[in-house]
Amino acid sequence: MQYFTQLLILIGIGFLFSCSHKNTPEQTQEFADQLTSDNFTLTGDYHWNFQLMGGTQHSIHTFYPDSITYVMEGKVYSATYTMKKLAFDQSQNKWIGQDGDGIVYVLFFKDKTDTSITLYKHKCSTNGLQEALDFEIPTPNATEDHGWNIYTLSEEDTEDMLSLSGNYVYKDTSLMVFDSLVIFNGKQFHKLSYHAGERRWVGQTNDSTFLQLFFKELAPVDSLSISVMEFTDWEKAYQTKYHTVNFAKYVKQ
């Protein structure tokens, strides 16, 4: 399918080439006195599924005491690599590691239960290990780096679902919102993807018009700040970022 092929190229380029800084053993040694080496006790395979362009992507982080293996499976994008632990600060739940190419990642963990954990992952694109050390705990509503995402020990029922629904109005525009369908001014858009960490919903009409929604609030309340934009180019619906859009207050009817 043409859309899948195009998006594979777009995402592949972004993931593979956006980070050119490669960490060296000499740089690791240079920052040795800043690397906290607390024991990392999280183990197991944690899963998160999400929709992208009508297909399911399966993201897996497998945790070991000295490393984390990452696997992404799906029609749009696939990858696998292992990050060797460089540091773990238990007081911040901050983990730093690098893959076989020397690319550095920093991960944060919160809200651990017996079956799930919430994870934030940042790929250091400009300054490697120094960038990881300087990177602070993201805010609870952060949308950069795909935001915070809930991973579960079960492979089932881990897909993001829009937690609100109803009919909302702003001035002369109407918006009927469901997880699988959004009706904007009478036009039906069927879900292509919803990403809670980015607060982004994308849908498509039968004539290939695309609708992008960003939500400031994800709880079902009487009024919502929503960004609503239509596109004829699907790439723009995915390239637009949360912090660049304008929000309007939609009132529930």
The reply to whether 161 falls in a domain is: no
Q: What is the pLDDT of residues 189-242, one digit of tens each?
A: 999 999 999 999 999 998 889 999 999 988 888 999 999 999 998 888 888 999
CA dist 239 and 177 (Å) reads 22
CA distances from 135 to 67, 94, 99 (A): 20, 10, 18
Same domain, 28 and 91: yes
Same domain, 9 and 44: yes
Same domain, 192 and 140: no
3-class SS of residue 118: strand
Q: Which amino acid is at 241?
A: K
Strand partners, 252: 168
Nearest Cα neighbor of 55 from 80, 74, 78, 77 is 74
Counted domains in the chain: 2
DSSP string covering 90-113: TTTTEEEEE-TT--EEEEEEE---
CA dist 30 and 83 (Å) reads 19
Same domain, 142 and 190: no
3-class SS of residue 32: helix
CA dist 96 and 40 (Å) reads 11
pLDDT-based confidence at 2, cuts 50/70/90? very low
Tell me 89's DSSP state: E
The whole-number pLDDT of residue 11 equals 44
The whole-number pLDDT of residue 57 equals 87
Same domain, 127 and 66: yes
Q: What is the pLDDT of residues 148-194, one digit of tens each?
A: 999 999 877 677 889 899 999 999 999 999 999 999 999 999 999 99
CA dist 27 and 72 (Å) reads 29
Same domain, 55 and 177: no
Helix H, strand E, coil C: the string for 179-247 is CCEEEECCEEEEEEEEECCCCEEEEECCCCCEEEEEECCCCCCCEEEEEEEEECCHHHHHHCCHHHCCC
Range of the domain at 25: 2-152
The reply to whether 157 falls in a domain is: no
Tell me 145's DSSP state: G
Residue 45: φ, ψ to 5°: -95, 120
Same domain, 84 and 140: yes
The more confident residue out of 208 and 3 is: 208
pLDDT-based confidence at 22, cuts 50/70/90? confident
The whole-number pLDDT of residue 208 equals 84
